[in-house]
Copies of this chain bind each other. A is one copy, B any other.
Amino acid sequence: MKLIILGAAAGGGFPQWNCACRNCARARAGDAAAQPRTQASLAVSANGADWVLFNASPDLRAQILATPALHPRGGLRDSPIQAVVLTGGDVDFTAGLLNLREGQTFGLYAGQRILDLLDANSIFRVLDAGLVPRRPLATDTATVLRDAAGRELGLTVEAFVVPGKVALYAEDASRPDFGSSAGDTVGLHITDAGGRGFFYIPACATLSDDVARRVRGSALVLFDGTLWLDDEMISLGLSAKTGARMGHISVSGARGTIAGFAELGVARKVFVHINNSNPMIIDDTPERKIAETAGWTVAYDGMEIIL
């Protein structure tokens, strides 16, 4: 199984278009320690020929251009991208679908609440339902991924509910927790026919007992690395929202990801979906050192993993 991290940043990317924080300023200035990153998407292939995208970031057109494995292989119109799986409904997970118009076929998988959001937004009709079947992804069930015509792609996913929240544009301030419901955010266990598998959890609000139980002892976990501190956006003056309010656990702290994973025996741990405000996104920071010392890799665009 081959993984290519197409984008490693959280929503907005790194640098973010309107952000002049210290991190973004360093990236914009071309500082070698502040490598730009596009918004989080992952490509996976079991056979080296058929590829599945996990989330479709707004940067997807540029991500495909930068990734030869995803270029057309022959014929006039072609793509090795045979399926797309969504773990949430937010812009940074879904807007890239608009880049996949132009008459190409693929299977589109998401939980029913996310499919409902796509259905309610007519702009996604640029993906013709006759070419791009929309398939509900049930939780706690193994789903064999297939191309638009039903051919198996050699990958199986099991989605599971993780602590999270509804997409920003679907928030309802009049309802508890902004109208969030189980399944608005899912994690995925992705396996190939040989039984090799890994977890992709780009958004997760807390490391619940259920999530911890699932990932314990696994070979590879790609996990939400959005924020270093829960109040990072507030203390930097960038936003009034905590990580918890945005649906993201923090990396550091007693209830953070590094501490929570310390005893879980995961062989390879990779942070993805890293916000531009997170100091560990910069190569030369103490926070990067702390993450690496704890056995984590901070993902970058184009990073490949063979499992």
Residues of A within 8 A of B (CB): 11-13, 15-21, 24, 28, 36, 58-62, 64-65, 70-79, 91, 94-95, 98-104, 117, 120-126, 168-170, 236-239
A44 to B122, CA, bound (A): 30
A168 to B64, CA, bound (A): 23
Between-chain CB contacts (< 8 Å), 20 pairs:
A11-B101, A16-B102, A17-B60, A17-B99, A17-B100, A17-B102, A18-B77, A18-B78, A18-B102, A18-B103, A19-B77, A20-B76, A36-B65, A58-B95, A59-B61, A76-B237, A95-B95, A117-B123, A122-B170, A125-B169
The interface centre, meaning the residue of A94, A125, A168, A169 with most chain B CB atoms within 10 A of its CB, is A169
* CB nearest to A104 among chain B residues: B18
A92 to B100, CA, bound (A): 12
| A94: chain B residues within 8 A (beta carbon) | 123
**What's the number of copies of this chain in the assembled complex?**
2
A168 to B121, CA, bound (A): 13
A51 CB to closest chain B CB, in angstroms?
Answer: 12
A102 CB to closest chain B CB, in angstroms?
Answer: 5
Q: Is the CB of B61 within 8 A of A13?
A: yes
Q: Is the CB of A61 within 8 A of B122?
A: no
| A78: chain B residues within 8 A (beta carbon) | 18, 20
A267 CB to closest chain B CB, in angstroms?
Answer: 34
| A77: chain B residues within 8 A (beta carbon) | 18-20, 238
Q: Is the CB of A12 within 8 A of B98?
A: no
A120 to B117, CA, bound (A): 12
| A236: chain B residues within 8 A (beta carbon) | 76
| A70: chain B residues within 8 A (beta carbon) | 17
* CB nearest to A276 among chain B residues: B102
Q: Is the CB of B65 within 8 A of A15?
A: yes
Q: Is the CB of A76 within 8 A of B122?
A: no
Q: Is the CB of A72 within 8 A of B20?
A: yes
A72 to B24, CA, bound (A): 10
| A91: chain B residues within 8 A (beta carbon) | 98, 101, 123, 126
| A62: chain B residues within 8 A (beta carbon) | 59, 62
| A102: chain B residues within 8 A (beta carbon) | 12, 16-19
